[in-house]
Chain A
Amino acid sequence: GQQVMQIPQYQHVQEGEDFTTYCNSSTTLSNIQWYKQRPGGHPVFLIQLVKSGEVKKQKRLTFQFGEAKKNSSLHITATQTTDVGTYFCAGDTGNQFYFGTGTSLTVIP
């Protein structure tokens, strides 16, 4: 079954509000990646986290990798309409690479 779950499945926010998606794996991950898929588009790589407890920032986006390397989060500060899309985490267990269930973000202008 699905080994990498994301919550929430859907999120509607007012432009300017913050947004967070959480990614949880049933097994320890060697690394985790995040992708963004715009409506009608293909997934585009955002970032990779490798170290336990790692935090990386890209402008308004903050990515965290949990201490146990089983969970991760993506936080967007002050969302903009250009942030609309589905955000997927993707975890590498060492044997398999699994995409998460995704969180679809809608930003209301």
Chain B
Amino acid sequence: SAVISQKPSRDICQRGTSLTIQCQVDSQVTMMFWYRQQPGQSLTLIATANQGSEATYESGFVIDKFPISRPNLTFSTLTVSNMSPEDSSIYLCSVGMANTGELFFGEGSRLTVL
């Protein structure tokens, strides 16, 4: 299993500003992912955070809007840049277990953009 600490847990931000979300895992993991969950919706994968290289982004998500860092095997950050109200969502960090394929999720960061 993995224990994931994510912060901030929630924030209210002004339009045009940027917010960085941090994700700390209690063990070294190869696969680390960032998801977005809009209110009442399913989970959409933003990107896979790769250690030592650029993140791999899914269709519809770009690095300029969602820059990601992965400096080591236990930590990652996701920045939501130049925010607009449409970015109001829960952002979830997750890690995948290579042997079982199971995903563990952080508690999520609930972002409200005014």
Contact = CB atoms under 8 A, between A and B. Distances in A.
* Chain B residues touching A, range: 10 to 19
B19 interface: no
Interface of B: 41-45, 92, 100-108
24 contacts: A2-B42, A31-B101, A33-B101, A33-B102, A33-B103, A35-B103, A42-B106, A42-B107, A43-B43, A43-B103, A44-B105, A45-B102, A45-B103, A45-B104, A48-B100, A48-B101, A48-B102, A92-B101, A97-B45, A99-B44, A100-B42, A101-B42, A102-B41, A102-B42
Interface of A: prevailing SS: strand
A65 to B, nearest CB: 14
Interface residues of A, number: 18
Nearest to B4: A42
